[in-house]
Amino acid sequence: VPAGDDREIEIRAFPARFSHLQTKQQGNAPTLGQHTLEVARAAGLNAAQINALLANGGLSATNPGVAAA
């Protein structure tokens, strides 16, 4: 799978096969920390909590500047 930064990442195939379903990999693999803020927000953390975790190393995000949004 293309990683989006000139690297390739190996991933496992979907463990089941369905005769009527054609599957293919779409898009690049996410980068490390790409969805950290979305997941933290979905878990119920507010911007202050997320920023505190980013500041003390409890979270790492590829774009931490948007944590307060």
Regarding pTM above 0.85, the answer is no
How does pLDDT run across 17-68, given as a tens digit for each residue?
777 877 676 777 788 888 999 999 999 999 999 999 999 999 988 876 666 5
Per-residue pLDDT, 61: 86
SS3 63: coil
The span from the first CA to the last CA of the chain, in angstroms, equals: 31
Per-residue pLDDT, 67: 61
